[in-house]
């Protein structure tokens, strides 16, 4: 049953990503929603897929972030060990840390994190996630992923 659920979640994630990929050009995507996905089996094969999505809510004043980690079924811990939200005025400026979240795990093989927060206008935002999987004390895997940029 867990394997069927895992396959279903991965399929839904891929379809969701495909929707945003064909949503339009970059300016359309910054208002509708953007995502970045990394789907591959890594060297020790614990993390099967990691993705992060950043969008505006319906009011246009808040940012919503969804981060997912999909692991092999034999892991004992799965999640996001760190999420850093960065912002800048425009592409001429450097990125600065806006807020940081840490240590979100479940004792399962799939994990979804949802965060929503007010974001002042006049900035571009992006999120950097560190995904985490643990099978044993000797078998741990992490991987970073950076979202596309959204304008507020």
Give buried/exposed letters for 5-41 (b at 16+ CB in 10 A, else e).
Answer: ebeebbeebeebbeebeeeeeeeebbeebbbbbeeee
Identify the pLDDT of residue 35.
57
85: number of Cβ within 10 Å? 21
Q: How many residues are there in the chain?
A: 152
- pLDDT per residue of the chain (152 residues) written in tens, 0 to 9: 545 444 444 444 433 433 332 222 233 233 345 555 554 445 558 999 899 999 999 998 999 999 999 999 999 999 999 999 999 998 889 999 999 999 999 999 999 999 999 999 999 999 999 999 999 988 888 888 888 888 88
**CA atoms of 121 and 75, how far apart (whole Å):** 40
Q: What pLDDT does 34 receive? A: 59
For residue 57, the number of C-alpha atoms closer than 13 Å in the C-beta half-sphere is 12
Output the CA angle 26-30-32, nearest 5 degrees: 110
- In whole angstroms, give the CA distance from residue 136 to residue 152: 42
């Amino acid at each position: 049953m867990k394997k069927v659920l895992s396959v279903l979640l991965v399929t839904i994630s891929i379809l969701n990503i495909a929707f945003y990929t064909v949503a339009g050009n970059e300016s359309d995507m910054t208002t509708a929603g953007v995502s970045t996905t990394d789907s591959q089996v890594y060297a020790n094969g614990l993390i099967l897929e990691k993705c992060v999505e950043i969008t505006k809510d319906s009011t246009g004043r808040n940012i919503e972030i969804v981060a997912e980690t999909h692991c092999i079924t034999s892991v004992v811990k799965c999640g996001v060990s760190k999420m850093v939200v960065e912002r800048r005025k425009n592409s001429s400026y450097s990125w600065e840390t806006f807020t940081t979240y840490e240590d979100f795990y479940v004792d399962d093989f799939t994990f979804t994190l949802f965060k929503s927060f007010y974001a002042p206008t006049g900035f571009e935002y992006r999120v950097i996630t560190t995904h985490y999987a643990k099978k044993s004390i000797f078998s741990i895997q992490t991987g970073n992923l950076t979202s596309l940029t959204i304008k507020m």
